[in-house]
Amino acid sequence: MTGYTGSHNPLLVNYFEFSLDRVPNLVYFCQTIKLPGIGFGSADQPTILGYPVKVPTGAFRFEELDLGYRVDENMFNWTELYNWIKTSGNYIDDSNTLPYKSKTSGASLYITNSAYKRKIEIRFKQVFPIYIGGIQFQVNTPTSIEALSTVKFAHTGYEITRLANP
């Protein structure tokens, strides 16, 4: 009988790096990211029996790419996202709207080992922001608190590549 030959170590959620080609100021401040789920459609196929049979059909569906980050004190990373989303549509008029190919970017999520060496790359295709979270300001705190925000990206899928032997 052959046994499990992979690593017995669990995947640790704090061993990752994120890279977004279009917004380099965001990368250093990334705090959380969720690897999007993937789904595929199904349909009921009628049968002569008293129940239908499920068959795979339809298209792939990907969850959005959710990212949480610290906002830098000059708000460079937040305003980069703000300007990107503004130029994706007619915010004021169409004079600043980007051509289609300029509206998207590539992005990568790297899973690292305990020495922070990259071992898996998850490369996202045609990433663009669809929602930028607000920033909470308040004066009644006993200590200074860093500003946090979130961003949701749409994408057209991703590929997973092993970079090194685990």
Tell me the domains of the chain and their CATH numbers: 16-39+60-162 (2.30.110)
Q: 76, 79, 64, 82: which is closest to 126 by C-alpha?
A: 64
Strands (E), 76-155: 105-112, 118-132, 148-154
Q: How far apart are CA 150 and CA 33, in angstroms?
A: 10
What tens digit of pLDDT does each residue of 7-37 get?
A: 777 888 899 999 998 888 888 899 999 999 9
> In the prediction, which pLDDT does 108 show?
96
Rounded distance between C-alpha atoms, residue 35 and residue 13, angstroms? 11
Percent of the chain with pLDDT over 70: 91
Per the model's pLDDT, the better-predicted residue between 91 and 155 turns out to be 155
Q: H or E element: which one contains 84?
A: helix 76-86
Query: Is residue 86 pLDDT above 90, yes or no?
Result: no
Q: Give this prediction's pTM.
A: 0.84
**Residues 135-161 pLDDT 10s:** 999 888 888 899 999 999 999 999 999
